[in-house]
Structure 1
Amino acid sequence: MDHTPTEQHGPTGPTAPARSAAFGRTSTHDLSAPPPDLYGRPRADRFLRGLTAFDRHYGPALGSPGLRRNPRRPAARPTAPLCLVVVSHRQVADEVVELLLADPAGGPLPGWQPGAHLRLTLPSGRERHYSLCGDPADRATYRIAVRRIADGGGGSVEIHEELHVGARLTVRRPRNGFAFCGEPVPLLVAGGIGVTPLLPIAREAERRGLDWHLVYAGRSSGSMPYLDELRALAPDRLTLLTGRIPTGAELLAPARPGAAVYCCGPAPMLAAVQRALDGSPATALHFERFGAAPITDGRPFSVQLGTGGPVLPVPADRSALDVLREARPDLPYSCRQGFCGTCQVSVAAGSPEHRDRRLTAEERAAGALLPCVSRAAEGDTLVLEV
């Protein structure tokens, strides 16, 4: 699955974006506030609140770096990317190919947990994220599955047509923003290629003896990868919905009291599940998106390609990245969610409204901008160096 960020919701709607360790981005909650609990809810711990307030007030005067990092612990060193080779390329469903990636020297690969993904740098230079859908116990290969999107950004077409056996590519080590928390009653909801991160979660739930169930929706059985694996794993825990668009109530119908829902699929499916959550016995929702989230509170503004360059209007319902790519088709991008940093540009003039999950305050002050999510006030113009 072309990977996008995780969010977590409670039964009454959004509580907070999930932690972002999966893409190396920073958490979106306020670092000056006490960290939230597993589901993003604010902690009520009085001691922790008091300690945070003390640090915020007295830390700068004492020269303390604050609660952000233990000063005794050395700063984390960036890990080198992996150079992997394609050892298998096969079709596993209509318009879906599976790749197995391995170390060219045959060495073991870094470990990972269900829900993790890889960031691939393709031979063209495009960067894309794909969920790992194999067995975490297999340290010899990584398995991903990619659906061909003919009118997409070209990454899936390149993988289908050019990444054959023997091809090499650069891969960032596995990151996880869709971690399985091991709740006793998990309900997994997959739409098409969205089954890829859920397949390892299903295997882990079965290994732990949990009372899990998977609802798998798709256009037809031929378009749904890994059906045979799921049927072999636990046929009585599988509900298939094909040939139509199911409602949120249908997708959540197998939910048991206290169920934690893990959902991955297209935006309409996620919206349907969110709307139906309150009417179900489920108590938590974790999900990943296929593409960019709908723009909320968007207002029209403009971007200018350098001082004296053309001015491009950005409608309220479109991102600056989409508009920029019409003028500069070679502008790189990947996640379209404001956390990978691939589309970063520089602001030469104007006041942006930053909505990303990656840039630090210092980077923003220096003019960095992620146009996939960030905007400007209505009527304003951002002069960009692209």
Structure 2
Amino acid sequence: MSLTLIRCRSRDGVPADLRGRGRPDRMMAVLEGFVDRYLGTVTRFDYDPAHAGHNPNSAMTLVVTDRRIVARDENVAALTFAAVGGGEVPAWQPGCHLDFHLPSGLRRQYSLCGDPADRRHYTIAVRAIPDGGGGSVEMHALEPGTTVTVRGPRNGFPFVAGGGALFVAGGIGITPILPMVRQARLLGMDWQFVYSGRSRETMPFLEEIESWDEDRVFVRTDAEHGLPAPSDLLGRAVPGGAVYCCGPAPMLEAVRTHFPETSATALHLERFGAPTVLDGTEFEVELAHTGEVLTVPADRSALDVIRGRLPGVGYSCQQGFCGTCRVRVLAGTPQHRATRLSPAEQDEEMLLCVSRSDDGDRLVLDL
């Protein structure tokens, strides 16, 4: 599952602060600027014990300790991992994910869906997609005792544990939402939860979810209720609270478009796969190793086009978040649409998944 964050926004388009207030927070803006600059520096290097905490860019070797099926159609497996030799794993919060570097060379991101208080284990859930990119099938084949290389945890979908909240999940989008709802229940928050899927057989963790307060949980399926309307997804929004949503593109688009009609004040979305290219212009990329010139249309990414010629090019999140698809730029000026690279790195590199040509001229890439 590839992930991206659409940042929290207030109903009038002004970024909401951590308390859900629909106005700018100057202190948070200053803090965010400092964090961007500081983390952009420290995460370019391997883990240094002198740094406080865990560097999510440093690799960990984890071992599979448990594998269980969590959906009735048997297509979703929950995998639990621990540190080789035991010991604690780095702390995480609801919304965090791990980057898996698979033996095949594929890199995939999966949301943590276990208990943040369990410092010895990580748990994810993966739906097998036979005709997908291969990562989910490879993950499903992992058996207890298998070791994998992992980086993280990272949090691109943070949960603010306070106030009221509506949680909306579609299918395997339950994975980042599940620990959020558990924490909301534990804290006694005012919460509502809409869980949607094709059928009950395809929906993971359904038994646990249906054991919760039935006045707060609405489980709906396409088979029983038809495709969800925006009112089905947002009708339970808590006045003055936040909406957290993860699921397929149509669900996210419906929530994003109709959110202003609710009385909630903050919206947090996480999507699967690459987002639609907005305000793009056509440009060319030249593959330096072969001299081949490719045209990147206004509505496609350079990564998408290059993969058609170089299927083995590395990528993972497709959102400008993980940095897997970074490549040296030998000529031309990129338009950087992410903050993953430092200013110095941006002078020489770009991310294929989101970066474009700044002036429409050809980019010569070290590929």
TM category, shorter: 0.7 to 0.9
Q: Which of 326, 343, 351 is equivalent to 1:344? A: 326
Distance 2:299 2:2 in 1: 23
Shift in Å at residue 37 of structure 1?
Answer: 6.5
The correspondence of residues 43-192 of structure 1 with structure 2, limited to 5 A, is 43=25, 78=55, 80-93=58-71, 94=73, 95-161=75-141, 163-192=142-171
Cα distance, 1:281–1:327 mapped onto 2, change above 3 Å: same
Contact 1:301–1:313 (8 Å) recurs in 2: yes
Distance 2:263 2:300 in 1: 36
Shift in Å at residue 336 of structure 1?
Answer: 0.4
Distance 2:346 2:149 in 1: 28
Give 1 or 2 for the bigger CA radius of gyration.
1
Residue aligned with 2:211, SS:
helix
Question: 1:373: which partner in 2?
Answer: 354
Contact 2:19–2:162 (8 Å) recurs in 1: no
Contact 2:5–2:268 (8 Å) recurs in 1: no
Distance 2:104 2:144 in 1: 17
Question: 1:382: which partner in 2?
Answer: 363
Q: Do residues 208 (structure 1) and 187 (structure 2) align?
A: yes
Question: 2:7: which partner in 1?
Answer: 7
Distance 1:359 1:384 in 2: 16
Contact 1:249–1:273 (8 Å) recurs in 2: no
Contact 2:4–2:321 (8 Å) recurs in 1: no
Cα distance, 1:123–1:182 mapped onto 2, change above 3 Å: same
Question: 1:54: which partner in 2?
Answer: none
The correspondence of residues 297-376 of structure 1 with structure 2, limited to 5 A, is 297-306=279-288, 309-365=291-347, 367-376=348-357
Question: 1:29: which partner in 2?
Answer: none
| Matched letter for residue 372 of structure 1 | C
Distance 1:207 1:307 in 2: 56
Q: How many residues align?
A: 344
Question: 2:43: which partner in 1?
Answer: none
Cα distance, 1:287–1:221 mapped onto 2, change above 3 Å: same
Distance 1:69 1:141 in 2: 29
Contact 1:304–1:382 (8 Å) recurs in 2: yes
Q: Do residues 196 (structure 1) and 175 (structure 2) align?
A: yes
CA deviation digits over 1:214-254, x for unaligned, max 9?
Answer: 10111111111001111223333211121132122220111
Question: 2:197: which partner in 1?
Answer: 218
Shift in Å at residue 157 of structure 1?
Answer: 1.7
Distance 2:186 2:256 in 1: 28
Cα distance, 1:301–1:111 mapped onto 2, change above 3 Å: same
Gaps in structure 1 of 5+ consecutive residues = 19-35, 50-64
Question: 1:249: which partner in 2?
Answer: 231
Q: Do residues 271 (structure 1) and 271 (structure 2) align?
A: no
Cα distance, 1:255–1:178 mapped onto 2, change above 3 Å: same
CA deviation digits over 1:128-155, x for unaligned, max 9?
Answer: 1111101112223211011123333221
**Structure 1 vs Structure 2 CA RMSD:** 2.6
| Matched letter for residue 278 of structure 2 | T
The correspondence of residues 275-286 of structure 1 with structure 2, limited to 5 A, is 275-286=257-268
Cα distance, 1:345–1:241 mapped onto 2, change above 3 Å: same
% of aligned pairs identical? 51
Distance 1:259 1:247 in 2: 21
Distance 1:276 1:350 in 2: 40
Cα distance, 1:41–1:311 mapped onto 2, change above 3 Å: farther
Contact 2:94–2:176 (8 Å) recurs in 1: yes
Contact 1:4–1:129 (8 Å) recurs in 2: no
Gaps in structure 2 of 5+ consecutive residues = 40-49
Shift in Å at residue 90 of structure 1?
Answer: 2.4
Cα distance, 1:148–1:341 mapped onto 2, change above 3 Å: same
TM-score by length of 1: 0.82
Residue aligned with 1:98, SS:
strand
Question: 1:260: which partner in 2?
Answer: 242
Contact 1:2–1:131 (8 Å) recurs in 2: no
Cα distance, 1:6–1:141 mapped onto 2, change above 3 Å: farther
Distance 1:307 1:127 in 2: 24
Distance 1:97 1:75 in 2: 35
Shift in Å at residue 160 of structure 1?
Answer: 1.6
Residue aligned with 2:338, SS:
coil
Distance 2:95 2:160 in 1: 10
Cα distance, 1:6–1:134 mapped onto 2, change above 3 Å: farther
Shift in Å at residue 207 of structure 1?
Answer: 0.6
Cα distance, 1:97–1:69 mapped onto 2, change above 3 Å: closer
CA deviation digits over 1:148-171, x for unaligned, max 9?
Answer: 23333221121123x122110011
